[in-house]
Amino acid sequence: MVQNQNIPRKIILLSHPNLPDSIEESHLLADVLQQNQVEVFFASSYTDEILVTQVRSGKFDLLIALGGDGTVLRASRLCAPAGLPMLGVNVGNFGFLTEVQRTGWREVLPRLLAGDYHLEERMMLHISHLRRGKVLDEWEVLNEVVVCRGEMVRPVNLVARVEGYTLASYVADGLIASTPTGSTAYALAVDGPVLPPELRNILLVPIAPHMSFDRAIVLSEGAEVNITVQTRHDAVLSADGQPPVKVVNGDEVLVKASTHPARFIRFQDPGYFYRTLNQYTEQTPRTYGDT
């Protein structure tokens, strides 16, 4: 964690447009912030062009995301490239990435406005989708990219290469390339290991491998992976749960550490991650409504 004493004076409140509680809580929070001479800017879409331009220009000091983990994932794509810190307030069903619960912001707000917090940096991934050597699209993600079968229930053939050398071949439903943060998301659901969030390693986890390499692999820091698709039927990729993108035979998905880390405001000591992990693994979560 990096200690930081900056006092935020211009704050974005990013609410989930489909969660009425998120919108309601953002207005309650705004009232208190404004009473403390803080400029408040409301947002509900992280892709709004005006908002993106303003964030990139350095206009804001902080973004507070009110929702669940899905809201935090979206916020990271907006904030990380600009180095804008984030504070997550859990108003959704699952808040593994958030720092405080719905009403908890009242307790930590005096510390925030006094600069009494730390910044935690987490690695993000830069994803490139290539076809015949041409980049079709790129993404920055906090959790993972998944390359997998489409609607047809047939496995896909995938080859993972690191630094030009073949690492493993898979016949599987798919392959996850994850950050340490993402190790507690989809990767954990398919029996991948849990990695401490401060690491800068890429985790590869196959999904339902069929008579092929079936172990998770933790790549060394700085490694880049090339996932080549070999299929005669539908296959897709999805970056942090965004709408799937069709991939065809011969397509490549390049995965490497982003140059832009996500920066989270933390008030707790470093052991918070393990306490949170224990809290959520000892209960059965409900179906997540914040996607």
Between CA 257 and CA 270 the distance in angstroms is 23
Annotated active-site residue in 69, 240, 251, 290: 69
Contact 151, 45 (CB under 8 A): no
Q: Confirm whether 240 is a catalytic residue.
A: no
What does the radius of gyration of the chain's CA atoms come to, in whole angstroms? Answer: 20
Between CA 185 and CA 277 the distance in angstroms is 11
Between CA 66 and CA 202 the distance in angstroms is 28
Q: What is the DSSP letter of 200?
A: -
Query: What is the Cβ-side half-sphere exposure of residue 249, based on CA atoms within 13 angstroms?
Result: 4
Query: What is the Cβ-side half-sphere exposure of residue 60, based on CA atoms within 13 angstroms?
Result: 27
Q: What is the DSSP letter of 69?
A: H
169 burial (CB, 10 Å; 0-12 / 13-18 / 19+) is middle
Span between the terminal Cα atoms of the chain, in Å: 28
Q: What is the DSSP letter of 28?
A: H
Residues carrying an active site annotation: 69
